[in-house]
Structure 1
Amino acid sequence: MQNAKDTFYEVLQGRLAAINPERTVVLRGVTRPGVEVVENEMVNAFSLPDCFRVEWGAVSIESEGAMPVVAMECVVGYETAGTALNAGMDRGRALAAMDGELLAAVNTCPHNTVKMNYSGLEQGKAASAMGTSVWWGPVSFGKQVLKKDRVGRVASVMVMSYQEAGEL
């Protein structure tokens, strides 16, 4: 499952960075595209505005057939306070822009990619292609939520892959 999660995150981050290269975030002193995987980051006392936060939800495994198929819910939360120039009065437009970016990233064809193994990166090795693919469905947007001076939303995408032999 971890390889499928990592692969989908890399695709999502790359597509979002191409759609809006100005949406960046500074985490641990490093500027990078405005996407974070919550399980991989230090615990923050607050949510970063104007950043897509990826969390993994429910998982199901269909074990009939030659290879098990894993389906995972990718939950993407995001919020914005709008711009200082407009005193936050444009936060609805800013949220709509983030909705559009996420929709474009998920809907860009193809809706699949080769599953990659990123575990070697820690030892300075390149990511390696695996024998199967990762694919995903359409994005589903939750209702808009008002949080003090911010407006936000949670969206979800079902991400699927075959579970290869030896995979965790």
Structure 2
Amino acid sequence: MQNAKDSFYLALRKRLASINPERTVLLRGALRPGILVEEAEAPLAQVSPDVFVLRWLGLGIDMDLSSTMAAEECEILYSTCGSQAFGGLDRGRMLSAMDEEVMAMLQPFHTPKLNYSVQPAAAMQTQIFWDEPAFAPITVQRDRLSRSAKVLLYSYQEQGE
């Protein structure tokens, strides 16, 4: 399932860079699109505001098909404190903009599956695909508004995976 997870993340990262090139994050001295995978980063005390964080939750396998299909649930976490220019009073608008970015990043609901363990990345024989997101209610922590969206990611297992 690692190839599917990598392909999903990098597809969303590329899509975010084209949707909102200003949403960036500085990690380990590199400026990159504002999306990261929780399990691939150093532990964070709190998720950075105005950044999308992918968290992998659960895995299921269906072996009753002609090819084995795996499904993994991904939670996309994000929050905002609003902008300094408006003293944080625009945090609702900022969260709504992030909601729209999540929907835009996820469409279309598929992408080619690539193997990123080799350079350059090698195209595999199948695509990965996912459901429409299920958005959780907004949570409020002092000056921060947060939300998450969950999607189920599907991938056929290929030879050598």
If the length of structure 1 is used for normalisation, what is the TM-score? 0.93
Q: How far did 1:45 drift?
A: 2.2
Match of 1:147 in 2: 141
Aligned to 1:117: 115
Distance (whole Å) between structure 1 residues aligned to residue 135 and residue 45 of structure 2 = 25
Q: Tell me the CA shift for residue 114 of structure 1.
A: 1.7
Q: How far apart, CA to CA, are the structure 1 residues paired with 2:133 and 2:65?
A: 27
How far apart, CA to CA, are the structure 2 residues paired with 1:112 and 1:85?
A: 37
The answer for the alignment partner of 1:131 in structure 2 is 125
AA aligned to 1:130 is M
Structure 2: distance between partners of 1:15 and 1:114: 14
Q: Aligned-pair RMSD on alpha carbons?
A: 0.9
Partners of 1:47 and 1:113 lie apart in 2 by: 27
Q: Which runs of 5+ in 2 are unaligned?
A: none
Q: SS state of the match for residue 21, structure 2?
A: coil
How far off is 1:147 after superposition?
1.3
Residue-pair matches, total? 161
Deviations 1:90-128 (A, max 9, x none): 10110000000101111x23x2222100012xxxx2000
- Alignment match, 1:156: 150
Determine what percentage of the aligned residue pairs are the same residue.
45
SS across alignment from 2:84? coil
- Matched position secondary structure for 2:36: strand
**1:61 matched to which residue of 2?**
61
Q: Which stretches of structure 1, 4 residues or more, deviate above 4 A after TM superposition?
A: none
Structure 2 CA distance for aligned equivalents of residues 114 and 46 of structure 1:
32
Distance 2:66 2:46 in 1: 44
Residues of 1 paired with 2:95 and 2:88: CA distance?
11
SS of the equivalent of 1:17 reads helix
How many Å apart are 1:59 and its aligned residue?
1.1
Distance 1:53 1:113 in 2: 19
Structure 1 residue 78 displacement after superposition: 0.3
Tell me the TM-score normalized by structure 2. Answer: 0.97
Q: Secondary structure of 1:119's partner?
A: coil
Where does the alignment leave 5 or more consecutive residues of structure 1 unmatched?
none
Supply the distance in 2 between the matched residues of 1:128 and 1:30 (Cα, whole angstroms). 25
